[in-house]
């Protein structure tokens, strides 16, 4: 069996997929596995532990070509030629590990019969080839409520069981860097809003070295060089700055030998996850740590809100190193469930519980707030209206006559989830499930309407599990006229 895996995401996302990819290769020992990836990230597949063939997408040459010619036609010609050659490989299966418009377009163009992940229909609309792709599209991302880590998500997506043997790094060569009793610190992040400033990093390093006995080995790329690291001689004797000096193999081995890895959301945090290295993750609001945080036993996520209290961060790092109970801004790894444990808001718990009941048929264990119950009543009201409209549509003329009403209902669903954000998992599920309906010709209109009706009936069956109590005290923010007119009360 010949398999093409599309992996166009950043290097940290690639590392998060390693354990699941190893389990997948173990499940298919005779498979010939190929990867389509960006040229600058192809090194991220070294050390996977099984033979692979890499096909670098010629994005850099296409960009350079466009800059010179200011013409898209040569770029399209280059990409089409590349993809046609790839199509000639005659793959038996395609797996799209990257949930992006570009990767979906590539998967749609290649048209491999057995496809998992996002692709496109002939009319270029998104095609969801499996339930987990739909889950990712609807429920995962910065402003969502998902609590499934990407490592576990990839395993579910590839339908594999992870074992401890899937978490390792295959050394390519001995590292020239050898240290004793040290912390490894990464001063970079995948995006600037996920990081401290250079001045803050300098102050942090000085405070940390003043309070711990370990050496501090600072890692990072050439573009992450910090000029404000402390100059105090006593501190510098325990400070080794290797920013821009190490290769990837060195970095893996340095992190593997550390007592603790410290860093923001970055590719090196995922290296630590691969090595099951205890980590202290400085996480910012622009990051969904539930999906990309540390997973090794004993690891801690420090949730930074606004200005970062560096003294507090250093104190929490000391607790983490000594396996002490962390403070209230921290999330730890539950040893029994391998999930994060820490303070969460009732809104967060409410939304996650709805996701669990909607997708995984788990009992809804978090009591719904009066506002959420009111919101569910309004969702039922709007959905009843949609079901009534759909039942009346028998032909294209009926659809044209009802379209404005259906559009108003969609706007109402969106407004309800804006007013009660914890209900957005329900409306996001509905919109994604409707997107999964394959496009059809007008002569198959009734089939399309039947599928749409089915999705809304599923929603209605789900909503009826939550009984509205007329005696409950509610804030009254879900006034019918506000929802249907697109207004909210102050």
Residue 170's pLDDT band (cuts 50, 70, 90): confident
3-state secondary structure of 146: coil
Lowest average pLDDT, out of 51-65, 270-284, 449-463, goes to: 51-65
- The pLDDT of residue 198: 78
Residue 30's pLDDT band (cuts 50, 70, 90): very high
Tell me the average pLDDT across 33-61. Answer: 90
Res 442 pLDDT > 70: no
Average pLDDT, the chain: 86
3-state SS record for 296-334: CCCCEEEECCCCCCHHHHHHHHHHHHCCCCCCCCEEEEC
Name the DSSP letter for residue 244.
T
- The pLDDT of residue 423: 96
- Tokens standing for residue 328: 């209230």
Res 475 pLDDT > 50: no
- Tokens standing for residue 28: 């298919």
**In contact, 270 and 279? CB cutoff 8 Å:** no
Q: 116-119: list long-range contacts, CB under 8 Å, 24+ apart.
A: 116/157, 116/158, 117/6, 117/157, 119/94
Work out the angle at residue 362's Cα, subtended by the Cα atoms of residues 438 and 136, and round it to the nearest 5 degrees.
40
Q: What are the angstrom distances between the C-alpha of 165 and each of 241, 252, 253?
A: 32, 17, 17
Lowest average pLDDT, out of 252-261, 306-315, 422-431, goes to: 306-315
**Pairwise pLDDT comparison (170 vs 376), residue with the higher score:** 376
Prediction pTM value: 0.89
pLDDT digits (tens, 9 = 90+) for 147-156: 999 999 999 9
Q: How far apart are CA 11 and CA 52, in angstroms?
A: 17
Instruction: Count CA atoms closer than 13 A to 1's CA, side-chain side.
Output: 17
Lowest average pLDDT, out of 209-223, 266-280, 390-404, goes to: 390-404
Percent of the chain at pLDDT > 90 equals 59
Lowest average pLDDT, out of 101-105, 243-247, 255-259, 364-368, goes to: 364-368
pLDDT digits (tens, 9 = 90+) for 331-389: 999 888 888 999 999 999 999 999 999 999 888 778 889 999 999 999 999 999 999 98
Residues in the chain, total? 490
Res 118 pLDDT > 80: yes
pLDDT digits (tens, 9 = 90+) for 200-238: 888 899 999 999 999 999 998 877 766 557 666 666 789
- Tokens standing for residue 391: 């039942």
- The pLDDT of residue 175: 84
The residue written with tokens 């990767």 in the block is 103
When mean pLDDT is compared over 19-33, 119-133, 178-192, 396-410, the highest value belongs to: 19-33
Q: Which domains does the chain have, with CATH numbers?
A: 2-166 (3.40.50.2000), 182-341 (3.40.50.2000), 348-485 (no CATH)
3-state secondary structure of 397: helix
- The pLDDT of residue 222: 74
Q: How far apart are CA 348 and CA 356, in angstroms?
A: 12
Residue 467's pLDDT band (cuts 50, 70, 90): low
Q: How far apart are CA 20 and CA 18, in angstroms?
A: 6
**In contact, 137 and 153? CB cutoff 8 Å:** no
Residue 2's pLDDT band (cuts 50, 70, 90): very high
- The pLDDT of residue 194: 54
Q: How far apart are CA 234 and CA 51, in angstroms?
A: 48
Residue 402's pLDDT band (cuts 50, 70, 90): confident
Res 242 pLDDT > 70: yes
At a CB cut-off of 8 Å and minimum separation 6, what does 230 contact?
Answer: 202, 205, 206, 209, 236, 239
Tell me the average pLDDT across 155-183. Answer: 92
Residue 32 phi, psi dihedral angles, 5° rounding: -100, 110
Tell me the average pLDDT across 447-470. Answer: 78
**In contact, 284 and 82? CB cutoff 8 Å:** no
Work out the angle at residue 134's Cα, subtended by the Cα atoms of residues 128 and 136, and round it to the nearest 5 degrees.
125
Tell me the average pLDDT across 85-98. Answer: 96
Residue 310's pLDDT band (cuts 50, 70, 90): very high
How far does CA 449 lie from the centroid of its chain? 32
**In contact, 96 and 104? CB cutoff 8 Å:** yes
- Tokens standing for residue 55: 């096909």
């Amino acid at each position: 069996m010949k398999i093409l895996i599309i992996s166009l995401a950043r290097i940290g996302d690639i590392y998060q997929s390693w354990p699941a990819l190893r389990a997948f290769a173990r499940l298919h020992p005779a498979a010939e596995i190929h990867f389509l990836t960006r040229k600058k990230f192809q090194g991220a597949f070294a050390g996977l532990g099984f033979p692979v063939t890499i096909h670098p997408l010629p994005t850099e040459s296409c960009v350079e070509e466009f800059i010179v010619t200011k013409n898209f036609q040569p770029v399209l010609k280059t990409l089409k030629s590349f993809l046609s050659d790839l199509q000639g490989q005659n793959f038996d299966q395609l797996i799209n590990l990257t949930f992006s418009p570009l990767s979906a377009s590539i998967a749609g163009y290649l048209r491999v019969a057995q496809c998992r992940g996002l692709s496109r229909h002939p009319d270029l609309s998104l095609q969801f080839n499996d339930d987990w792709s739909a889950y990712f599209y609807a429920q995962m991302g910065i402003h969502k409520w998902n609590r499934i880590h990407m490592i576990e998500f990839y395993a579910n997506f590839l339908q594999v069981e992870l074992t401890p043997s899937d978490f390792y790094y295959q050394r390519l060569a001995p590292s020239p860097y050898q240290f004793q009793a040290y912390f490894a610190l990464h001063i970079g992040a995948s995006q600037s809003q996920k990081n401290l400033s250079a001045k803050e990093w300098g102050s942090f390093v000085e405070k940390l070295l003043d309070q711990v006995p370990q050496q501090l080995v600072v890692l990072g790329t050439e573009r992450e060089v910090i000029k404000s690291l402390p100059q105090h001689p006593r501190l510098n004797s325990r400070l080794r700055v290797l920013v821009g000096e190490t290769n990837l193999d060195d970095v893996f081995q340095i992190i593997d030998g550390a007592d603790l890895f410290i860093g923001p959301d970055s590719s090196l945090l995922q290296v630590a996850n691969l090595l099951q290295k205890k980590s202290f993750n400085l996480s910012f609001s622009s990051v969904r740590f539930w999906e990309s945080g540390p997973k090794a036993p004993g690891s801690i996520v420090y949730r930074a809100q606004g200005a970062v209290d560096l003294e507090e961060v250093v104190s929490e790092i000391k607790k983490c190193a000594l396996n002490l109970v962390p403070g209230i801004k921290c999330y730890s790894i539950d040893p029994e469930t391998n999930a994060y444990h820490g303070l969460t808001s009732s809104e967060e718990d409410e939304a996650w519980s709805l996701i669990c009941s909607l997708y995984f048929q788990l009992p809804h264990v978090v009591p719904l707030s009066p506002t959420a119950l009111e919101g569910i009543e309004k969702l039922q009201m709007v959905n009843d209206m949609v079901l009534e409209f759909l039942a009346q549509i028998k032909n294209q003329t009926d659809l044209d006559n009802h379209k404005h009403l259906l559009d108003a209902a969609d706007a109402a669903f969106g407004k309800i989830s804006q007013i009660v954000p914890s209900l957005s998992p329900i409306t996001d599920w509905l919109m994604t499930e409707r997107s999964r309906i394959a496009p059809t010709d007008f002569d198959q209109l009734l089939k399309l309407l039947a599928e749409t009706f089915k999705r809304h009936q599923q929603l209605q069956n789900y909503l009826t599990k939550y009984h509205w109590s007329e005696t409950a005290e509610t804030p009254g923010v879900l006034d019918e006229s506000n929802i249907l007119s697109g207004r909210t009360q102050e």
